[in-house]
Each structure stands twice: as C-alpha cells, then as structure tokens.
Chain A
Amino acid sequence: NAGVMQNPRHLVRRRGQEARLRCSPMKGHSHVYWYRQLPEEGLKFMVYLQKENIIDESGMPKERFSAEFPKEGPSILRIQQVVRGDSAAYFCASSPGGRDGYTFGSGTRLTVV
C-alpha cells in the first residue's frame, strides 16, 4: 500500500511561470489537505478537499492559487505567475476521515528564481 505520493520532489520555476504540484492520496483515503512550509516557519494549512469538492480553502491566498481533486487522478495545487515568496515546501496529506491523523507525502520543494 503506497503512501501519499507527491511529485515532483523538486520544482524550479522562473518568476511569472506556473507551478503544478500533484498529490495522490493513500489508497482508501478520500480526504486531501495541502500545507505550505516557508523556510524557518511552521506548517500552514492551505486547503482541504474531497473528491470533486473543496471543503475548506480558508488558507489559500486569494489570487494565483487554486486546487482541485478530480473524480479521477491526483489532487493538483496550481500556482500561477509564481513570485519569489512562493518558494517553500508544499506538503500534501490524506486521511480516511474520523479521528485518525493524517499521512503526509514527502513534499514538493518549490524554488522560484
């Protein structure tokens, strides 16, 4: 049973380009969460999704950021027109719901140059 799979592990983008980060949850998990960790800071919640639905996007920046979890395929976190301040580690987690904690993927390290 593979864990939470994120790709790519490292992503370099020039300012103004788009970044697409992918996350496949653990088998049997229908809840997906995205977190961002800036250098020297803690994990900040971004968005919570279930299949085809955004449940809570209270942590998403109002512009340039979007997320989806389609019926088929991985969850995608999309950042348009990236800026230097978007450089961070982006972690995806999944859970089956209920009282269980999350399982995290290895993260995508985004560097904007």
Chain B
Amino acid sequence: RKEVEQDPGPFNVPEGATVAFNCTYSNSASQSFFWYRQDCRKEPKLLMSVYSSGNEDGRFTAQLNRASQYISLLIRDSKLSDSATYLCVVNSGSSNTGKLIFGQGTTLQVKP
C-alpha cells in the first residue's frame, strides 16, 4: 500500500464548478499535512497546510479526518488558472521535522 494515495484523475470541470479531491495516508503517527500545487512539472508550491479543525483560504477549503486517515481539498468557483496537479503531502512520522511524503497528484483541468 502506498503511504499517500490519491486519485490521479484527470478531473475535467467547467469554469465556476466546485471540485473536491481526496487523499488517504497510511501512517497514523503523521502530524503534518499539506496540499501542494505543481504546474507543468515545475517546482511544487505550497497551497495550504491542513489542520484538524479544517481551514479555508479564499476559494480553497482543506479538511483532515484523523480517524479515517483522510484529507480533502475543495475548490469552489474554479478558474482556468486552477488547472494544475494537486499533491497531497504528509510527514513521515511523529516528529514535525522530517521527510514529507508526496502523493502521485490529482490533475485538474478547468475548461472555459
């Protein structure tokens, strides 16, 4: 079983749609969770951290369910510029300092 699993997609949605990505992780000791965005094989960029209480940043909402070891990202009112690969990222163990494990990524294509 992969440490971080994501549906690779692609998700093809029209502008203005709401789209949700899910991710599961295998290490119950993990403490830090993130969503990164990667455009066209460029460097990944931090989109947002994910907290147990859930957090929102504009059109983006991230949620964490520790019991189910499940992370989600919701994008509302999709823009063309949201087209990218979204990476679910989890730290490898009980320490907050250490390697991050990346999922394969979910590809989103927003169409006009």
Contact = CB atoms under 8 A, between A and B. Distances in A.
Given A42-B87, A43-B44, A104-B44, A99 B32 contact: yes
Interface residues of A, number: 27
A65 B101 CA distance: 20
A98 B101 contact: no
Interface in B22-57: 31-32, 34, 36, 41-46, 49
A7 interface: no
Given A98-B96, A99-B32, A42 B43 contact: no
B97 A98 contact: yes
A42 B3 CA distance: 13
A106 interface: yes
B37 to A, nearest CB: 11
Q: Which one of A42, A89, A97, A105 has the highest number of Cβ atoms from chain B below 10 Å of its Cβ?
A: A42
A101 B36 contact: yes
A102 B96 contact: no
Given A89-B41, A101-B36, A102-B46, A42 B100 contact: no
Given A45-B101, A48-B98, A101 B34 contact: yes
Contacts of B89: 101
Nearest to B43: A104
Interface of A is mostly: strand
B61 to A, nearest CB: 18
Contacts of A95: 97
A74 B79 CA distance: 38
Interface in B55-112: 87, 89, 92, 96-105
B97 A97 contact: yes
Interface of A: 31, 33, 35, 37, 41-45, 48, 55-56, 58-59, 89, 91, 95, 97-99, 101-107
Given A42-B105, A104-B43, 17 more contacts: A33-B99, A42-B87, A42-B102, A42-B103, A45-B99, A45-B101, A48-B98, A55-B98, A58-B99, A59-B99, A91-B43, A91-B44, A97-B97, A99-B31, A101-B34, A101-B46, A107-B43
